[in-house]
Amino acid sequence: MQRLYRKRIVLGVGGGIAAYKSAELVRRLRDQGAEVRVVMTRGGSEFITPLTMQALSGNPVHMDLLDPAAEAAMGHIELAKWADLVLIAPATADLIARLAQGIANDLLTTVVLATDASVAIAPAMNQAMWRDPATQANTRLLEERGMRMFGPASGSQACGDVGFGRMLEADELAQRAADCFRRESLTGRHVLITAGPTQENIDPVRYITNHSSGKMGFALAEAAVEAGARVTLITGPVNLPTPDRVTRIDVVSARDMLAACEAAIPCDLFIASAAVADYRPEVVAPHKLKKDPSNGDGLLLQMVRNPDILATIAGRPDRPFSVGFAAETEHLLDYAARKLKDKNLDLIVANDVANPSIGFNSEENACSVIDRALHETFFAQTSKGKIARQLITFIADRLNQV
């Protein structure tokens, strides 16, 4: 169930008695590491209080489509973009009907229309309402559009009837939510990923580095595991937890990283997302450098070039399918295309680190992927986790064509 770790789930709560189960569902999702934001309909808030859901989710509950404070920042659009999964539990017959017709007359239905995330629905209603031809037609229509239907289960109902219409229990819903992130496009593949910055020592207390946080590389490692791969993650100094089922190797310098990469080969896919220092001081001082009056106000460091990890791995006789990253502040696509050719890569991911909303240390990214034919595929700005899953799907498709 660790597939839910760091996933962003919008939980929609419709107006049915099964809403009491939604509280336990929030706990189960958070137990597995998911971040949950709750959107309630007015009917849902009659069965369970927003305060309860806020306490359990750790986030404010969203209810009003026309909340002036939230909509000043286009709150419904932000929620739609934020989500990795929209899970509606319970979904009443009325809510299902409105979704089927594309009606957006409250916050929850508007978020569903605006999101590009997966949407899952857990029906909960009287057995006769579930069997009604209109409800059956509506659910079929939603499934044809790609929405997942979780349940319903059969059993006794609050009204005293017995039959299909009960909402699934929280444990099963959490499991099915986790299954939404299961991908098998890299089953049996060994994926080697580099992440984070490298550090090049000047003396025992100083070093040269950059602003890379490692978040993109770690998100790629998680997405590759979801896709069924065996993942080796070689990372420079970062403060991030190791993704579940990932073999992590910590390194410091560019030379350390190259040695670790070569030791991890053979692999099927190499994704070099690390921001490797191009140069290092030629000589590392054995003691802390002191201010030297004879040098005036300056300090001269003689720099030498570091080995090119990406070109070295992509140039091997047993080269894996090789994907590079180009983090640029200008002429993004031109520089990325040149790097693709010069380093003999199969694909290169180009992102504009001059844009603070998608640059180093940010939570979101946007990028373009360029292939050997110089075709560009653009991925719009969203969370790094979502971008990582989109990239892994794209890369795996190209790899599987080789």
CATH code: domain of residue 67: 3.40.50.1950
Residue 201 shares a structural domain with residue 350: yes
Domain final residue, candidates 179, 205, 226: 179
User: Same domain for 118 and 208?
Assistant: no
**For the chain, percent of residues with pLDDT exceeding 70:** 95
- For residues 194 and 162, membership in a common domain is answered with no
pLDDT per position as a tens digit, 249-283: 999 999 999 999 999 999 999 999 999 999 999 89
**27 is a domain residue:** yes
On whether residue 147 sits in a domain, the answer given is: yes
Q: Give per-residue pLDDT as tens, 279-308.
A: 999 898 898 888 777 666 777 889 999 999
* Statement: residue 40 has pLDDT above 80: yes
Residues 106, 227: one domain?
A: no
State the CATH number of the domain containing residue 291: 3.40.50.10300
**Same-domain status, 173 and 194:** no
Q: What is the tens place of the pLDDT at every residue in 346-371?
A: 999 998 877 777 777 778 888 999 99
One domain for residues 161 and 49: yes
Residues 88 and 129 in one domain: yes
**How many folded domains does the chain comprise?**
2
Same structural domain, 175 and 195? no
pLDDT of residue 72: 46
- Classify residue 334: in a domain, yes or no: yes
- Residue 69: pLDDT band (50, 70, 90) is low
- Is 279 exposed, middle or buried, given 0-12, 13-18 or 19+ CB atoms closer than 10 A? middle
Q: Based on the residue annotation, tell me whether 261 is a catalytic residue of this protein.
A: no
Two structure tokens written together for 300: 């001269």
Three-state DSSP string of the chain: CHHHCCCEEEEEECCCCCHHHHHHHHHHHHHCCCEEEEEECHHHHHHCCHHHHHHHHCCCCECCCCCHHHHCCCHHHHHHHHCCEEEEEEECHHHHHHHHCCCCCCHHHHHHHHCCCEEEEEECCCHHHHHCHHHHHHHHHHHHCCCEECCCEEEECCCCCEEEEECCCHHHHHHHHHHCCCCCCCCCCEEEEEECECCEEEECCEEECCCCCCHHHHHHHHHHHHCCCEEEEEECCCCCCCCCCEEEEECCCHHHHHHHHHHHCCCCEEEECCECCCEEECCCCCCCCCCCHHHCCCCCCCEEECCCHHHHHHCCCCCCEEEEEEEECCCHHHHHHHHHHHCCCCEEEEEECCCCCCCCCCCEEEEEEEECCCCEEEEEEEEHHHHHHHHHHHHHHHHCCC
- pLDDT by residue (tens digit) across 390-401? 999 999 999 988
Same domain, 245 and 384: yes
Residues 339 and 390 both lie in one domain = yes
Rounded mean pLDDT, 329-340: 88
Q: pLDDT for 173-219, tens place per residue? A: 999 999 888 667 888 899 999 999 999 999 999 999 988 899 999 99
- What percent of the chain shows pLDDT beyond 90? 65
Record the pTM.
0.66
Instruction: Decide if pLDDT at 1 tops 60.
Output: no
Residue 206 in any domain: the answer is: yes
Q: Are residues 199 and 162 in the same domain?
A: no
Of 117, 148, 179, the residue at which a domain comes to its end is 179
Convert the pLDDT of each residue in 223-250 to its tens digit.
Answer: 998 888 899 999 999 999 998 889 999 9
Residue 64: predicted pLDDT: 81
pLDDT, tens digit (0-9, with 9 covering 90-100), for 105-129: 899 999 999 998 899 999 999 989 9
Residue 300 lies in a domain: yes
Does any domain span residue 120?
yes
Give the pLDDT confidence score for residue 154 in this predicted structure: 82
Domain residue limits at 40: 2-179
99 and 225 housed in the same domain = no
* Average pLDDT score, the chain: 89
Residue 185 within a domain: no
Q: Is residue 173 assigned to a domain?
A: yes
| pLDDT-derived band at 327, boundaries 50, 70, 90 | confident
Domain closes at, from 154, 179, 204: 179
